[in-house]
A and B are shown apart, each in its own frame.
Chain A
């Protein structure tokens, strides 16, 4: 266990090694939130609410969705792809730990770093600039954090899968990019799922993506109430477990497939 904690610490150090990335990240997230805030105020115009969400809820939704993204988003898919391509996976195989477990811990280290040094200061800036309400009750905060952890796991699962596809495709930059767009779109980050046409909503309910962003944001903005919260959390938990199956299978296949390239 202590080696996994150590890995999180190492990841913190790595994030700190590149300070410019860190500062520009805060700026980019604030600009994004601002842009979506103005976009949504224009769309709402004089309307009280759309699809059951008020303007205030919508603003909060956008802010929370982006700040949650800072936590669940990570680049381990690209890292895994790079490590497979230049043969570094081979070196990971001579270490007495599980490669995927270690990658997940690195992602968690990155997530916690961004949550503390990225989301929190970012949220303070946003709360001062835009009319965002953070007066959710203690239970809502609690549900939100549980949901956030699930969304991290689901997103990391998907990243592991995308990264491992490099074993079979050798070059999957395109796939990784496509995956990022799909997640931003289908997870409810850009547009709440309830805004999509019914057929699209039906389709998306069979996909794991809404467990990433839509659920925590809806819980925080109290778009979900009562039983709905539990159902949403159960759905997330369901995906957390279901996605383990393809990950295990891909990993077993990948290990068989392992040809160390070069050298």
Chain B
């Protein structure tokens, strides 16, 4: 079953540019230079129930705009959106009962009052019965370890504490679909791990579909099987994370640590190998080829030189994404 179905979605913004100088400022009073800019440019996307999808891209790639359209905040310029079987914009009140949203950069809790008062209000807003609330939220509060925070006003919470409360608040009505817009921004490792573990748990327990945007690719590695990569409003990759790793960067990096200092000349040279010296006794070899070439290289090097340690490095997702944005992606 498809939870999200998006066809040829497009969102344009009118932006105006200021002319330079005082004369330009006066001209701007009467006419302005408008430019149409497509923040989201004809994207199509389907997400099945129970999937955890990582939605990544540079700043300004159109991630947040997409999320805002999917949640019914913005109307698309063209294209169709069906989420949970509804049109988010037309059936707003009915639709928003079926989703949970966390905006990492914006608080949705009431600033001046205790967290539990916000929860109580949301419970009424989403018409959650006492029974469901106690059962479901009891578990959420326990897992996120926010029990002791409930009677504190939101303004007195630290960022990590607040974010865990925000997440709990988004789950009060136990929505089948959860949008997380940079939920781990500015959080320390422990809180991040806690949140990831929790998201995995609700995904397994309730088959909650999760769409996640983040700049921290370790989030994606830990949670998502599928990634959607966005660049300048267009989807440039949609598929499994491990395939992205396999395709995007060809070859491997091998780190040789020798017992003594080794000159470049005593290392095997070929067109497919590039050498880089890390420190006096350590060399990094970049190989453009498959596993067999890797084995070949290692045996060549080891035969000639006394070796202390050899390590084959996996290329991190971060490395891949950096490479994609800098060099473009040639995927088949």
Asked if A and B are interacting partners, one says yes
Query: With an 8 A cutoff between CB atoms, is A49 at the interface?
Result: no
Chain A residues within 8 Å of B92, by CB: 93, 96
Q: Of A6, A93, A259, which is in contact with the most chain B CB atoms at under 10 Å from its CB?
A: A93
Render B95-119 as a binary contact track against A, CB cut-off 8 A, 1 for contact. 0110101010110101011100110
Chain A residues within 8 Å of B153, by CB: 17
Query: With an 8 A cutoff between CB atoms, is B54 at the interface?
Result: no
Query: With an 8 A cutoff between CB atoms, is A138 at the interface?
Result: no
Complex Cα–Cα for A91 and B169 (A): 13
Is the Cβ of A96 less than 8 Å from the Cβ of B110?
A: no
Chain A residues within 8 Å of B181, by CB: 263
Query: With an 8 A cutoff between CB atoms, is A18 at the interface?
Result: yes
Is the Cβ of B68 less than 8 Å from the Cβ of A90?
A: yes
Query: With an 8 A cutoff between CB atoms, is A125 at the interface?
Result: no
Render A1-33 as a binary contact track against B, CB cut-off 8 A, 1 for contact. 011001100100110011000000000000000
Chain B residues within 8 Å of A258, by CB: 73-74
Complex Cα–Cα for A10 and B112 (A): 10
Complex Cα–Cα for A95 and B170 (A): 10
Chain A residues within 8 Å of B105, by CB: 263
Complex Cα–Cα for A13 and B118 (A): 11
Chain A residues within 8 Å of B99, by CB: 94
Identify A14's interface contact among B75, B97, B110, B127, CB under 8 A.
B110
Is the Cβ of A96 less than 8 Å from the Cβ of B96?
A: yes
Is the Cβ of B96 less than 8 Å from the Cβ of A94?
A: yes
Complex Cα–Cα for A94 and B64 (A): 14
Query: With an 8 A cutoff between CB atoms, is B72 at the interface?
Result: yes
Complex Cα–Cα for A259 and B93 (A): 20
Chain B residues within 8 Å of A88, by CB: 106
Is the Cβ of B101 less than 8 Å from the Cβ of A6?
A: no
Render B56-79 as a binary contact track against A, CB cut-off 8 A, 1 for contact. 000000001000100111110000
Is the Cβ of A260 less than 8 Å from the Cβ of B113?
A: no
Is the Cβ of A96 less than 8 Å from the Cβ of B93?
A: yes
How close is A104's CB to chain B, nearest CB, in angstroms? 15
Closest to A87 in B: B106
Identify A263's interface contact among B103, B110, B120, CB under 8 A.
B103
Closest to B99 in A: A94
Is the Cβ of A263 less than 8 Å from the Cβ of B124?
A: no
Is the Cβ of B68 less than 8 Å from the Cβ of A260?
A: yes
How close is B299's CB to chain A, nearest CB, in angstroms? 53
Complex Cα–Cα for A18 and B155 (A): 13
Is the Cβ of B113 less than 8 Å from the Cβ of A14?
A: yes
Closest to A89 in B: B73
Query: With an 8 A cutoff between CB atoms, is B187 at the interface?
Result: no
How close is A92's CB to chain B, nearest CB, in angstroms? 9
Query: With an 8 A cutoff between CB atoms, is A40 at the interface?
Result: no
How close is B317's CB to chain A, nearest CB, in angstroms? 24
Is the Cβ of B97 less than 8 Å from the Cβ of A96?
A: yes
**Known contacts A14-B110, A258-B73, A260-B73: A6-B120 contact under CB 8 Å:** yes
Chain B residues within 8 Å of A18, by CB: 112
Chain A residues within 8 Å of B73, by CB: 90, 93-94, 258, 260
Query: With an 8 A cutoff between CB atoms, is A97 at the interface?
Result: yes
**Known contacts A13-B113, A94-B72: A263-B125 contact under CB 8 Å:** no
**Known contacts A6-B121, A14-B113, A94-B96: A263-B64 contact under CB 8 Å:** yes
Closest to B65 in A: A260
Complex Cα–Cα for A95 and B13 (A): 25
Q: Can you pick out 15 interface pairs between chain A and chain B where the beta carbons lie within 8 Å of each other?
A: A3-B124, A3-B125, A3-B127, A10-B121, A13-B114, A13-B117, A17-B113, A90-B106, A91-B103, A93-B96, A94-B71, A260-B68, A263-B64, A263-B103, A263-B105
Query: With an 8 A cutoff between CB atoms, is B126 at the interface?
Result: yes
How close is A4's CB to chain B, nearest CB, in angstroms? 9
Closest 10 CB pairs of A and B: A3-B124, A6-B124, A17-B112, A96-B93, A3-B125, A13-B113, A90-B73, A93-B73, A14-B112, A96-B97
Is the Cβ of A10 less than 8 Å from the Cβ of B117?
A: yes
